[in-house]
Structure 1
Amino acid sequence: MPYNYVYMAKKKKVKKNDKIIKYPKQYHFSIGFIIIGVMFIYMLYHLFTYITADNITVYEVSQGSISSNLEYNALAIRQEQVVTAENNGDILYLAENFGKVGAKTQVYALDTTGEILSSIEESTSKSEIQLDDEDYSKLQSIVANYMLTYDPIDFNKTYTFKNELDSQVAQLYTVSAMESMGESLSNAISAGSFNIYSSPVPGLVVYSIDGLEDITVDNFVSESLDISNYSAVNLKAQESVIAGQAVYKVITSDHWNLVLEVDKDLYESLQGETYLKIKFLEDETETWTNLDFTEKAGKYYLILSLDDSMDRYADSRFVHIQIINNNISGLKIPNSSIVEKEFYTIPKDYMVMGNNDDNAGFLLKSEAGNVVINPTVYYENDDFYYIDNELVSRGDRFIKPNSNEEYVIGADTGKLKGVFNVNKGYAVFKQIEILYQNDDYSIIKTGTSYGISMYDHIVLQGDEVEENTIIN
Structure 2
Amino acid sequence: MANKKNIVQYHNVKTKDLGIAIFAVILLYVIVCLFISSKNESITGYQVKIGTLSENRQYSAIALRDEHEVMSDYSGYVNYFIREGERSAYSNLVYCIDETGKISDLIGKSPVEDNSLSKAELKSLKQDIMLFSKTFDEKTFADAKAFSNKTENNLSQIENRRIIEDVTKITADHSNDMINFCRAKAAGITLFYHDGFESLKASDLTPDSFKKDKYVRTDILNDDLVETGSFVYKYVNNENWSLVILATPEEAKRVKDMDYVEVKFLKTLTTSWGKVTVVQDTDEYSIIELSFTNSMVAFCKDRFVDIELMVEEDNGLKIPNSSIAEKPFFLIDKEYVTKGGNSSNLSVLRKEQSENGEVVKNVEISVYKEDDDVYYVDTNSLSTGNILIKPNAPVDGDESNMFIVGKQGTLTGVYNINKGYADFNRIEILYSNDEYTIIEPNISYGLRAYDYIALDASIVSDKDFVY
TM-score range, shorter chain: 0.7 to 0.9
1:251 CA drift (Å):
1.6
Q: After the TM superposition, which residues 4-403 of structure 1 pair with which residues of structure 2 at under 5 Å, given as runs? A: 38=23, 41=27, 45=31, 54-111=41-98, 114-115=99-100, 117-118=101-102, 120-127=103-110, 129=112, 132=115, 178-181=167-170, 183-184=172-173, 187=175, 193-236=178-221, 239-270=224-255, 272-283=257-268, 285-294=269-278, 296-298=280-282, 299-346=285-332, 348=333, 351-356=336-341, 361-367=347-353, 368-371=358-361, 373-382=363-372, 384-398=374-388
1:242/1:26 Cα in 2 relative to 1: closer, same or farther (>3 Å)?
Answer: closer
Q: Which has the larger radius of gyration?
A: 1
Structure 1 position 360, deviation (Å): 5.6
Structure 1's 331 and 85: CA in aligned 2 closer, same or farther, altered over 3 A?
same
Q: What is the alpha-carbon distance in structure 2 between the residues aligned to residue 67 and residue 263 of structure 1?
A: 17
Whole-Å Cα distance in 2 between the matches of residues 177 and 184 of structure 1? 13
Structure 2 SS opposite 1:76: strand
Q: Are the equivalent residues in 2 in contact too, given 1:73–1:321 (CA < 8 A)?
A: yes
Once the two structures are TM-superposed, the CA of residue 330 in structure 1 deviates from its matched residue by 1.3
Q: Give how far 1:245 is off.
A: 2.4
- TM-score, normalised to structure 1, is 0.71
The CA distance in 2 between the partners of 1:217 and 1:101, in whole Å, is 27
**1:316 shift after superposition:** 1.9
| TM-aligned CA distance change 1:84 to 1:48, over 3 Å | same
Structure 1: tracts of 5 or more residues without a match: 1-22, 135-170
- C-alpha displacement of 1:277: 3.5
Contact 1:68 1:323 in 2 (8 A): no
SS for the counterpart of 1:253 is strand
| Partner Cα distance (2:373, 2:59) in 1 | 37
CA distance in structure 1 between the aligned counterparts of 2:456 and 2:73, rounded to whole angstroms: 72
| Conserved 8 A contact 2:336-2:389 | no
Q: Aligned equivalents of 2:193 and 2:224: distance in 1?
A: 14
Q: Tell me the secondary structure at the aligned position of residue 252 of structure 2.
A: helix
Q: Hey, what's the Cα distance between the residues in 1 that align with 2:61 and 2:370? A: 37
CA shift, 1:207, in A, is 0.8
Give, in whole Å, the separation in 2 of the partners of 1:238 and 1:450.
74
Residue 295 to residue 310, structure 1, CA distance change in 2 (3 Å): closer
- For 2:253 and 2:345, the matched residues in 1 are separated by 31
Measured in 2, the distance between the counterparts of 1:227 and 1:383 equals: 48
Q: Which moved more, 1:434-443 or 1:304-313?
A: 304-313
Deviation at 1:262, TM superposition (A): 2.0
- Alpha-carbon deviation of 1:322? 2.5
**Contact (CA 8 Å) 1:129, 1:176: kept in 2 or not?**
no
Q: Counterpart amino acid of 1:470?
A: F
Distance in 2 (alpha carbons) for counterparts of 1:373 and 1:295: 50
**1:1-27 Cα shifts (integer Å, max 9, x gaps):** xxxxxxxxxxxxxxxxxxxxxx99979
The CA deviation string for residues 25-64 of structure 1, in whole angstroms up to 9 with x for no partner, is: 9799999xx79x9599499647666655533222221111
Identify the residue that residue 167 of structure 1 maps to in structure 2: none
Give me the whole-angstrom Cα distance separating, in 1, the residues matched to 2:315 and 2:267: 29
Q: Give the Cα–Cα distance (whole angstroms) in 2 for the partners of residues 211 and 400 of structure 1.
A: 66
SS in 2 for 1:122: helix
1:399–1:104 Cα change, 3 Å: farther
Kept after mapping to 2: 8 A contact 1:335/1:441:
yes
Paired position in structure 2 for 1:450 = 445
Is there any run of 5+ residues in structure 2 with no aligned partner, and where?
A: 1-7, 118-159
Please give the root-mean-square deviation of Cα atoms over the aligned residues, in Å.
4.0
Matches within 5 A, 1:426-437: 426-437=421-432
TM value normalised by structure 2: 0.72
